A and B are shown apart, each in its own frame.
Chain A
Amino acid sequence: MTELIRAKEPFKFCTRLHLSELTGLRASTLGQLLALIKEVPASCIYHHTHRFLQQHQYLSPEPPNDFAYWVTDTLGEDELGERLVSIDTMQYSTIRDLREKISSTIENYLKDSPLAKLKFARSGEEFHFIKSVNFILPTNYVAYDSLEFAEVLKKITIDSIYFHIFEARLRLEKPTNDFSCWIENSLGDKELADKISGFDPYTRTLEDLRKTLVQIIEKRISG
């Protein structure tokens, strides 16, 4: 077992809870969807590209976004759906860039397949734009070393893991996360920090992510 380093400042676990705010904006066609994607608040783009992670933990870990789902399922545009679902969210550390990628994907598709513009969603199956309102609050869980850190990871909510991994990337606008930052800066373990920031969290369910994080840290502790 490697000797544990005790940090001066503990890692303070926060949790992130969200409410879905309805905008009343809806799209029936690809053209309307595109126009609204360009103008809705960033919190809308965030909601429709990250909602699945928290709501469908038991589904396959692919990152299905709401746009891809609607385009495929409602409009029957499978090819565009595939292009949207395969957007590598990890590459984009800002919602601005992600929004740009989604809208250019739709725009390019419409250039290639102009007939797709004519498709309408039937009444009741329109795309409804929703935005996330986030509430961030500190929990009572803290960790001073990697052993405590792994123990807390086992019991905190997936909302907390979500906040420190996914939301952190967008908040920091860097391809890293809160866990890696603390492990590198407070425990001085750059190797472990890099390992955690190096894998793609979007390709796992949140429970899988929790297990993987715990395994990586415990393996590191046991040397």
Chain B
Amino acid sequence: MVRIEEYIPWVGQAVIDDLRLLGERLKGKVIQHINSTPVGGGVAEILNRMVPLLRELGVDTKWGVIKGGEQFFEVTKKFHNALHGRAEEITQRDFEIFMETSQENIENVNTDADIIFIHDPQPIALIKKKATNKWLWRCHIDVSDPNEKVWGFLMDFIVRYDSAVFSAPAFSRRLPIRQFLISPSIDPLSDKNKELPQEMIDSVLRKYNIKKDKPIVMQISRFDSLKDPVGVIEAYLQVKKYINCQLVLAGGTAEDDPEGFKVLEEVREKAKNDPDSHILLLSQNDLEVNALQRASDVIVQKSLKEGFGLTVAEALWKSKPVVASNVGGIPLQIKHKYSGLLCHSIEGASFAIKQLLSSPAYAKKLGENGREHIKNNFLITRHLRDYMLLFLSLYHPEDSVYL
């Protein structure tokens, strides 16, 4: 298990000292995180890293997962898509299914901690159990243009929380409760982000039969229509008319995402006539993701909607030039033409990829700037600090808090 001291080479001793000071101020408080899946997807990944570190900092932290059957997760996936603004038919029965499973969880999940930290909409109805303790709702998804029917349904729960947390300013709206901006983070010591020897990178390429004879354009993301993998193939095919390159689309599916395999089939169909397209369904293997990212010449994240887009932070941390959509939390990570290139369309993505492949020095500079930006703002130590401040804010309503 990683120890907090191991981050000192990246962020300095004083940053860790500050975290310890905050941990001391939270002594005696018990915090319980609750989400819907222990593996797969960004939320589980972050909690897996953060919970042990919070404990080491002296913050008594627990993590629980709600239960739900196939029907429940189909409904929550529909909610997820609808909140991202996609057309979804949501029926009264869907809301009933959501409430039936929520009721079972309300009866079975223990919520005695001082602070209950609910992640995303799936466990949101647990707020019905709120006693005198503090409750936080963390929204990890892009709700800049949500389906109002679903948002209205969730709003009845949201207003009962003490505070809400969003990943980008565009997701906020007038709410009767306090709302905070906290970006997610990456962990420089995790298997997904740590330095790797070249032999390991080469062996992963060999495993997937990827030769290094032409530049690699890559998108690593769950197979999810909102990540627009089909759009990535179209952009790549436009680039390939001028530059001989290859495409790697790699990703897995999350336990709470029943749509993944359908999208994967669509992608395979779209790419089947191009021998330089590699479509890889990865099992949960962070070292391989790391190796593939490091082997790339350009990394793409052409999402249509994006809660934050941790894959962008991962790519920038590896000093890779990135082309990504100007959606959700991505513009917080990329300043256009300074730490990457932002795009709004397939044509825009294609043009940007061509620019980067044709100008390696420019691409290198963008990657270097990107790494600095991630180092200063999106590492797990900053995230730990923000969460601890958030917990403290529940007991301090003022704008300047002297601890």
Contact = CB atoms under 8 A, between A and B. Distances in A.
A133 B401 contact: yes
B12 A17 contact: no
B170 A157 contact: no
Nearest to A132: B399
A55 B374 CA distance: 10
Interface string A134-171: 11110110000000000000011101100000000000
A134 B401 CA distance: 6
Interface in A1-54: 15, 17-25, 41, 43
A133 B14 contact: no
A138 to B, nearest CB: 8
B309 to A, nearest CB: 15
Interface residues of A, number: 35
B170 A137 contact: no
A155 B386 CA distance: 21
B372 A58 contact: yes
Contacts of B106: none
A80 interface: no
Nearest to B377: A55
Interface in B280-338: 326-327
Given A22-B169, A156-B14, A17 B181 contact: no
Interface stretch (A83-91, A101-109, A122-130): A122-130
B175 A17 contact: no
A14 to B, nearest CB: 9
Given A131-B399, A135-B401, A136-B400, A19 B390 contact: yes
Contacts of A128: 169-170, 172
Contacts of B403: 135-137
Contacts of B389: 17-19, 133, 135
A99 to B, nearest CB: 15
A56 interface: yes
A74 to B, nearest CB: 11
Contacts of A55: 376-377
